[in-house]
Structure 1
Amino acid sequence: MTTTNQRTPVRERLLETADRLFYGEGIHAVGIDRIIAESRVAKSTMYVHFRTKEDLVEAYLRRRHAAIAEHVEGTVGPRTAGRRERVLAVYDALDGEMCAADWRGCPFTNAAAEYPTHEGIRSAVRDWRDWLHSLFDRLLDPRADKEYLVPALVQLVDGSMTAAHLDRTTGATSVARRVAATLLGTAA
């Protein structure tokens, strides 16, 4: 994401700082005072935009979701070679992010682990999951066994995100892509 500066609107500075710190260090590990200090805003100003730290966490997740969805949809949308290729392009679109040196796994899985019961945060995580499922549902051939394929393709995304972080491998999405191609081939 971008570096904070005084010309960036306050809400965006807070979100940029929260994104960098929450994702890089963990949500519970980062206090609200640090976000305020690094964003260069007054505490009262922060609370004008976000009533609680959890509201800021939810906004951070929704911002991440929007950025990833825009990137993936932008990558997959222009591909006109066929449904199979569009499905496989999802893995290509996610590959760059998961190969980054600062990749710490899925931000939504991380947040769900840190906040298992907070409704706003759980809602942001559910929205991400719903989008991922609906993405594959839209991309698959209408005659496909979506009840089986959609969850399988989502699980391949989940597994590649986890493997990219835990195994520090840059090949996790290519493995997931190959398995997805095999699934699509056997389901045809």
Structure 2
Amino acid sequence: MMDTSLPVRERLLASATRLFDENSIRSVSADKVIADAGTTKVTFYRHFRSKDQLVVAYLDAQLERLQAALDAERGAGRDACALLLRLAAANGSAACRPGFRGCAFINAAAEYPADGNVVRAAVGRYRAWLHGVVAGLLEELGVDRPGVVADQLIMLRDGAMVHGFMGDPGAVTEQLVTAGRAIVAAHLSSPRPA
């Protein structure tokens, strides 16, 4: 049961986040979230028109946390190389945590495959943000074709997230950083340590 001192919307979102992360989005009904949050259907539908809207709020909250974490890293004065390494380490840490079931965004895309769905749109916002961040950092590093290299690094990251769930999570961070460095080094305009 959720802490009932939290505002209802926050309780619903906190319950959904825990339940979605522990199970899967599709396997968790709105009724399960309502029961876990200790509220009613009427109250749920005051805050979310549908379960899909709850899923969107869940994904948007995940994105906001990632954006805030990156802003904090930038505020610490880290350069582009350090930020890329921190992103890789954060992904590796996520893949190594107990109970990790894969990237929330990859899972949501798999569970909501139809184009035009609001959940797919939320996944698309995350993907666009991630690509923009990575491409911008690569451009700062002087990488040729930063958009193409960003695609390669994001594909590598996606594979690392799946590997963390399906394979050896302990190896994710080191392998992600090693492979990412090789990709970046191969595309630097003037070779320098990555």
TM-score normalized by the length of structure 2:
0.88
**Which of 49, 63, 66 is the aligned partner of 1:65?**
63
For the 8 Å contact 2:92–2:176, the answer to whether it is kept is no
Alignment of 1:147-166 (within 5 A): 147-166=147-166
> Does the aligned pair in 2 maintain the 1:58–1:124 contact within 8 Å?
yes
| Distance (whole Å) between structure 2 residues aligned to residue 16 and residue 57 of structure 1 | 12
- Give unmatched runs, 5+ long, in structure 1: none
The within-5 A match list for 1:16-27 is 16-27=14-25
Offset of residue 77 of structure 1: 4.9
Contact 1:79 1:85 (8 Å CA) reproduced: no
Offset of 1:96 from its aligned partner? 2.1
Once residues 101 and 150 of structure 2 are traced to their aligned partners in structure 1, the CA distance between those partners, rounded to angstroms, is: 25
Q: Is the aligned partner of 1:47 residue 2:67? A: no
Provide the rounded CA distance (Å) in 2 between the counterparts of 1:76 and 1:96: 19
Residue 9 of structure 1 corresponds to which residue in structure 2? Answer: 7
> Percent identity between the aligned chains?
32
Following the alignment from structure 2 to structure 1, what is the Cα–Cα distance between the partners of residues 104 and 54?
14
Which consecutive residues of structure 2, in runs of 5 or more, have no partner in the other structure?
189-194
Q: Secondary structure at the match of 1:171?
A: helix
Change in 2 beyond 3 A, CA 1:32/1:109: same
Shift of 1:174: 1.8
The 2-side partners of 1:70 and 1:99 are apart by 21
4+ residue segments displaced more than 3 Å: none
Give 3-state SS (helix, strand or coil) of 1:157's partner.
helix
Does residue 170 in structure 1 map to residue 167 in structure 2?
A: no
CA contact (8 A) 1:72 1:93 kept: no
Counterpart in the other structure of 2:130: 132
Post-superposition offset of 1:92: 1.5
CA contact (8 A) 2:102 2:162 kept: yes
CA RMSD of aligned residues (A): 1.7
Conserved in 2, the CA contact under 8 Å of 1:10 and 1:41? yes
Q: Which amino acid aligns with 1:21?
A: L
CA distance, structure 2, for counterparts of residue 6 and residue 108 of structure 1: 28
TM-score (normalised: structure 1): 0.90
